[in-house]
Structure 1
């Protein structure tokens, strides 16, 4: 699913008005009606006191339409106009008059902190103060209004985006943003719903189709792509009947050290579970018996050093190499990694300590092959690209790094991002239980296993991140969040493939 920027959404509105020969007022009525229908479906006429806070622009106009429809259907609604400016949009004014014409109680004007209304926890709040058009800091009294709404702890539904959020940058005041119980957003998901700093303001997000021009949507390159099951399925490559292991490549996983052999074990196992035809682990001598015993399907090559890697010498040409898990940053290991990069011709997935070495020895970065995948956790990413002010600054710096070095960066998180130059892919699978030791090692193995089978690195990264999260989602059904181990993710990789093809259960048809 495409994620559009605020400017692209405004353009989509304009194109829709022209192509469908409708007015902006008609589009507003249709969009707001979609949200009313959701509210009405859930409340079913329940006598819940409703407070609708409306701004002065088109988001406020949406709120006024919703208020009017609620009143027409018998709900008890108090509508508040948040007077933060002298300006009002034309459609806001029209819907203001329409509401006044049918409401027994006219909208209440809010102009300062002295006007803050009483809200109870059992009430419902509709937040339609600001939309994606917010372009300046909020007035202090409006910030206090938002704090007042949040303090009530009522069920709060935000229209399009929680008020106080910008579409393309971090909020000015983290406390000046509505914490929405539910956000109903128009036509497209917004990137802010998936970033750690801004995603926290929406407990639940629902996208409603408001009928924007499909030709424009299909032909316009998205600001980002949201990756769910349908998108992941399009990347899947089925196996042919007469396949043999040689068709699916040879993955080499390099890493490990004394006390950290488990990281390579997880990666090798994951590469095989993902479908690599062959997999070999290159590890220090101390891990030989562990690997051969724990993963009998894998082959093992050992360094002559017992505790850490001092050289990387292989006598075959791997399809792909995953490197860095548990490898450490010993001086001899750094030298071995440097010499390895100088002669390597295989595709690469770089993780953990190999990233830390690159961050310190930046002269090695030009040695990376085209579309090398890097999989840093937040600390490793900071060492690699430097600190950032906020999530948007982080994305900007990752894009710059990716362009400079022609690499794919997997930014791990609750909604892992895959960034390649100016392209952003936002993953939707995964859960908090996956914040556990070894989860990243499993991901490295999955990505390596996909490239081994012939997936292009970018598609391997996008599909691999989804499968990794999906395996974790399937695993927690048995373990719960706290009980999830990285090895549980590995054991559910096969099921994550099967889940791609599972159709959602059919809803019963009412007579």
Structure 2
């Protein structure tokens, strides 16, 4: 799914109005109905809604939503700024329709101090994606007041006060929603940690904006959705053998850190690698052979890795539990000097590479590096925020010709052409040591199975997150372990195969 800027969303609206054809107020009605349908299904236990409406089209959405909720039998009150009653053209139409219904009271913002919010759901329809400056005055005070309420909160299209395409300033006031019902597209700011926390759980509602216009309009930003994954995924064919699905070699482990290699190798096996090896120090031999008997062991040292042998037609995933001993660092850099095929680099491999910027030039083209924010900082320097970090990632991916999997709550896959793919699977249960080792094993396995570097990275982060979501459902985010994520990889593949077969 493409992510559009606020300007391109406006152009998509305009194109749809001209070419469907449909009037702008009818399109507003369609958007409002999609919200009411969602609310009717997901808020059945609530009977009272309080809708806060601005003077623009977002407020018009709010007026229409309030009217429709009332006609469905809910109790609804609406708050507006009565000192400023100059509405946009479409908002005015829906305001007049609302006023014709005697059962809905329209109150002024100043009345909220006396209002009884008990058991009410608060709906924010104050400002939409057209907002160009931070909130001040009455609106700032209003949102600060509403933020103190413990009521469930829903934002329409975007939380009021949030920009769609850029980060807010640190002290800007933004409505903090539990749920955001957004139209047609993810907003980029939902996907970054500084602002995404205000959107709560976002739901993208299809309001049938012109698919023709969306298809032909370029974007460099995408959300990894099921449609994209089903285009990438290659079901396992009959009449194949282990050689068909590649040779994966996980290079990792050191004294006291063999567990990281175990997690990586197990996830590579679960992801379908045809031949799977682990190159580790001899101190991990018994642990690795016992934990993953399906994988073949290659000795690379005694307590730390000091030898990495080159094998033909193999994909290397290097880093889990590797350690940063001088001999290991020397061995890694020597290997990179001679190795020309794409590989995966993570964890301690990146930490050793980060010691000298010239080491980045040794990474083969189309390789995949998977840093978390701190590792990214060591590699490329400190950045002020996640937007600027992403900008640096795009520059570095292009400069060095590799893919960057920038791990975060919404992990970003950055390709050398400057395109960014945001992952929306996964949860905070992955915020545990070992989760990154699993991802390394998954991507290594997919690259060995002849997925392109881009497809391996995109499918890998999605698969990792999807398995984590299943693990959280079964064990909770708090209790789930990295091994639980590995155990759920098979269930993700079962679902993928079923969907892929249905499409044939």
**How far 1:59 moved relative to its partner?**
0.7
- What is the alpha-carbon distance in structure 2 between the residues aligned to residue 410 and residue 43 of structure 1? 37
Alpha-carbon spacing, 1:36–1:429, altered in 2? closer, same or farther (3 Å):
closer
How big is each residue's C-alpha offset from its partner over 1:179-208, in whole Å with a ceiling of 9 and x where there is no partner? 223221112222333322222223332222
The answer as to 2:392 corresponding to 1:393 is no
Larger mean Cα displacement after TM superposition, 254-263 or 38-47: 38-47
Is 1:154 the equivalent of 2:148?
Answer: no
The TM-score normalised by the length of structure 2 is 0.91
| Residue 29 to residue 482, structure 1, CA distance change in 2 (3 Å) | closer
Aligned-residue Cα RMSD (Å) equals 2.6
- Partner of residue 471, structure 2: 475
Q: 1:243 to 1:20 in 2, by over 3 A?
A: same
Q: 1:403 aligns with which of 398, 402, 409?
A: 398
Where 1:271 maps in the other structure, the secondary structure is helix
State the 1:401 CA deviation.
1.7
Query: 2:309 & 2:461 partners in 1: Cα distance?
Result: 30
Q: Hey, what's the Cα distance between the residues in 2 that align with 1:51 and 1:492?
A: 41
**Of 428-437 and 72-81, the range deviating more from structure 2:** 72-81
Q: Report the more deviating stretch, 323-332 or 421-430.
A: 421-430
CA contact (8 A) 2:344 2:368 kept: yes
What CA distance in whole angstroms lies between the structure 2 residues aligned with 1:259 and 1:469? 27
1:356 and 1:384 in contact (8 A); partners too = yes
CA distance in 2, matches of 1:26, 1:464: 41
Residue number in structure 1 paired with 2:287 = 290
Please state if 1:200 is matched with 2:194: no
In structure 2, the residue matched to 1:249 is 246
Q: Give, in whole Å, the separation in 2 of the partners of 1:139 and 1:89.
A: 20
Question: Alpha-carbon deviation of 1:80?
Answer: 2.1
Instruction: Give the superposition deviation at 1:128.
Output: 0.6
Answer yes or no: is 1:219 the counterpart of 2:216: yes
Q: Deviations over 1:147-175 (max 9, x none)?
A: 21121222222111111111012223556
Instruction: Write out per-residue CA displacement over residues 393-449 of structure 1, whole angstroms, 9 at most, x where no aligned residue.
Output: 222222122112111111223322212142222223223222222111111011111
In the superposition, the TM-score normalised over structure 1's length comes to 0.90
Distance change in 2, residues 1:503/1:197 (3 Å):
same
Distance 1:223 1:52, change over 3 A: farther
Of the three residues 440, 445, 454, the one matched with 2:441 is 445
Q: Which 10-residue stretch deviates more, 57-66 or 442-451?
A: 57-66
Tell me the residue number matched to 2:33.
33
Query: 3-state DSSP class of the match of 1:307?
Result: coil
Work out which of the residue numbers 352, 357, 362 in structure 2 matches 1:357.
352
- Tell me whether 1:97 sits opposite 2:96 in the alignment: yes
- Residue 382 to residue 154, structure 1, CA distance change in 2 (3 Å): same
Which one of 373, 376, 382 corresponds to residue 377 of structure 2?
382
Q: Are 1:326 and 2:321 counterparts? A: yes
Q: Does structure 2 retain, via aligned residues, the 8 Å contact 1:345–1:369? A: yes
The unaligned stretches of length 5 or more in structure 1 are 505-511
The CA deviation at 1:13 is 0.5
